[in-house]
Amino acid sequence: MTDSTGHYTVLARRFRPQTFEEVVGQERIGQALRNAILSGRVAHAYLFTGARGVGKTSTARIFAKALNCPHVQNAVPCNECDVCRAISAGSDVDVLEIDGASNRGIDDIRSLRANVNVKAMRSPYKVYIIDEVHMLTKEAFNALLKTLEEPPARVKFVFCTTEPHKVPDTILSRCQRFDFGTIASGSIKERLRQIAAAEGIDVADEAIDLVARRAAGSMRDSQSLFDQLLAFGGEKITSADVHQLLGTASDERLIELFDALIARRRDQALGMLDQSLSEGVQIGSFSDQLLLYLRDLLIAAAGADEVPLLSVGTIHRQRLSEQAGLWGLKTIAAAMQILAETKNRMQKVNYDRALIELAVIRISLLEDLDNIGALMASMREGAGPMASLRPPTRSPAIESASRRVESASPRPVLPPPTRSPQSLSPTPPSGNETSESPSELENSPLVVEAAPQKTVEFAESSLTEFLSEVYHLLGDRVSGHLKKASAIAISGPNALAVLFTQSYFLNKQYIERPGVLQQVQDAATRVAGRPITISLTAAASTPTSNGTSPRPTRTPVSRRKPQDLKDDFVDQAVSLFGGTVVDVREIPDRIGEE
């Protein structure tokens, strides 16, 4: 449709609401403003907040018309007089619309303060509508404070913003605030049907549903997309036209892709991704669809049947419920986290296709996290590991989904791995324990064998071997700290003394931790075959006069002449390597010296 000058008028302007009742989804706000006008309790300043395209500026214009229309009845403007038409067109001399983004300086606000005392020319009220008010500078807000607090009697301010947190508290405290919520998808679809009927164009319900979902609660966005769709399509507009215009994939393609991911058919999943991109699907829009589809699976897995779907139509809810039952809530949450991280990275690189393909592979590698949780729960309850590790029986729904995906390219069946008889060495039962037959062990999916712990005599002669077994049980982290000890010796029948020098006091502190020390004692007890206690000591040092600890002095070591040494082991080493004995020293017993 064209205006009086012959130019085309976009749908968002042509079908702009003209009364409070026409503002879709904001009925409570319209009723509150009407009651304020009827009761004569109109505030001097209002703040309209909310997402884009939900009716903030339209409501501000309707509010100005309800105040100034000479033929207003029950706070409803006539929309026929010159005042109403001028306000709707944004050209009325008494209703001034100011763009806060382009008039944000202190000079602009000073001009407003200079003109605010000028009386309205033909209307009862002078109304200032400042859009995107959060864009004003700090100095501009400060200049507006006094006028906003004590304005002339016939001056009203209406501030509109999408980011109320950027408005200073001094401004917020002087305004009555109304928060505009997002518009329900059903209300948007109903409005789009009305526009399609007014335009005389046949639009399929699936196409209207897609536009409403893509608008994400914004009426203006939905009307802009719908205007573009009407110009793109012909006499009959279908969902395929919407997908082609928006660069998105069809609902069926999304469902088939996730069927392949659930069945771990990675080749089919990557093939569907490549086919979608080849058909003109934009990778950014496609990744948004995948993320919203995972969100819908999350909703289905949680059993929130009343929450609307965002990625596909409502007719596919049953299919999503089946997929959610196959995957489980935890697996879906993990897949959603993978894709969300991928979306964040795709905005910063130019190899976004490789990232989305990597995300598809990672999602297909996710195991059934619910089964893992059930396994851990059964083990904590004391159930046998063999029973908890057996794979669950596949339900008919899983079988049908697998057949549906495998019908395209059946997966080859691999023979089961063979295991040698030596790999099964069941231990004989003792006491009240029951033994499993060899056939039961063969049929179990996993056999975990724990080798019996080697015991070493707790004596001076075998102390080196004893400590080696203890280090092996403790692992590299704990044993690395324990090996920093300057000496380890047997201090009693069931006691082991560990000595640390001052230079390794951090290692001593680590071993002294209750959990670590208990771990060391448990390892020593297992190797010795009887309870062993561990005592930690530090090398004593006497402070000097300046408060510092002296360096430890070496104990004099007695020396003997090489020819006095008579040792068969040394003689064999000399004859083997062809060397000579240069010096002979005696190693002192450090534990005894301390």
pLDDT of residue 384: 47
pLDDT of residue 564: 60
Residue 208 within a domain = no
Closest CA to 11 of 191, 159, 213: 191
pLDDT of residue 257: 94
Phi, psi values for residue 538, rounded to 5° = -115, 150
Helix (H) or strand (E) holding 142: helix 138-149
Closest CA to 324 of 306, 307, 299, 305: 299
Phi, psi values for residue 128, rounded to 5° = -110, 120
Closest CA to 51 of 214, 221, 170: 221
Out of 133, 163, 181, a domain closes at 181
Residue 90 within a domain = yes
**148 and 70 assigned to the same domain:** yes
Q: Which residues contact 155 (CB under 8 A, 6 or more apart)?
A: 44, 116, 125, 126, 127, 128
Question: Is the separation of the CB atoms in 74 and 131 below 8 Å?
Answer: no
Helix (H) or strand (E) holding 335: helix 329-346
**24 and 109 assigned to the same domain:** yes
**365 and 473 assigned to the same domain:** no
Residue 582 within a domain = no
**165 and 312 assigned to the same domain:** no
**258 and 166 assigned to the same domain:** no
**Token representation of residue 502:** 């001052």
pLDDT of residue 139: 87
Residue 158 within a domain = yes
The pLDDT profile of the chain, 594 residues, written as one tens digit per residue, is 555 554 566 787 888 889 999 899 899 999 999 999 999 999 999 999 999 999 999 999 999 999 999 999 989 999 999 999 999 888 898 999 988 888 788 888 888 888 888 888 888 999 999 999 999 888 888 888 888 888 888 899 999 999 999 999 999 999 999 999 999 888 999 999 988 888 888 888 888 998 988 888 889 888 888 888 888 776 788 888 888 888 899 999 999 999 999 989 999 999 999 999 998 899 999 999 999 999 999 999 998 888 888 889 889 999 999 999 989 899 999 999 999 999 999 988 889 999 999 999 999 988 756 555 566 666 666 554 444 444 444 445 445 555 555 554 444 443 444 444 343 344 444 444 444 444 443 443 333 334 456 788 888 888 888 888 888 888 888 888 888 888 888 888 888 889 888 888 888 888 888 888 888 988 989 888 889 888 888 876 544 444 444 454 555 545 556 556 667 777 777 777 767 777 776 665 544 444
**132 and 254 assigned to the same domain:** no
pLDDT of residue 586: 65
User: Per residue in 34-75, pLDDT tens?
Assistant: 999 999 999 999 999 999 999 999 999 999 999 999 999 989
**281 and 151 assigned to the same domain:** no
**144 and 40 assigned to the same domain:** yes
Residue 363 within a domain = yes
Q: What angle do CA 60, 62, 68 make, to 5 degrees?
A: 105
**401 and 467 assigned to the same domain:** no
Out of 154, 181, 208, a domain closes at 181
Out of 181, 215, 238, a domain closes at 181
Domain harbouring 470, CATH code: 3.30.300
Amino acid code (one letter) for 446: L
How much is the pTM?
Answer: 0.59
Amino acid code (one letter) for 66: A
Q: With H, G, I as helix, E, B as strand and everything else as coil, classify residue 129.
A: strand
Domain harbouring 321, CATH code: 1.20.272.10
User: Per residue in 155-171, pLDDT tens?
Assistant: 999 999 999 999 999 99
Domain of residue 335, residue span: 247-375+397-405
pLDDT of residue 372: 59
**177 and 270 assigned to the same domain:** no
Domain harbouring 140, CATH code: 3.40.50.300
**353 and 259 assigned to the same domain:** yes
Closest CA to 525 of 533, 517, 535: 533
Based on the structure, what is the number of domains in the chain?
A: 3
Residue 168 within a domain = yes
Residue 109 within a domain = yes
**259 and 128 assigned to the same domain:** no
pLDDT of residue 562: 59
Give the single-character DSSP code of 433. P
CA gap 280, 246 in Å, rounded: 10
Residue 436 within a domain = no
Q: CB-based burial of residue 332 (10 Å sphere; 0-12 exposed, 13-18 middle, 19+ buried)?
A: buried
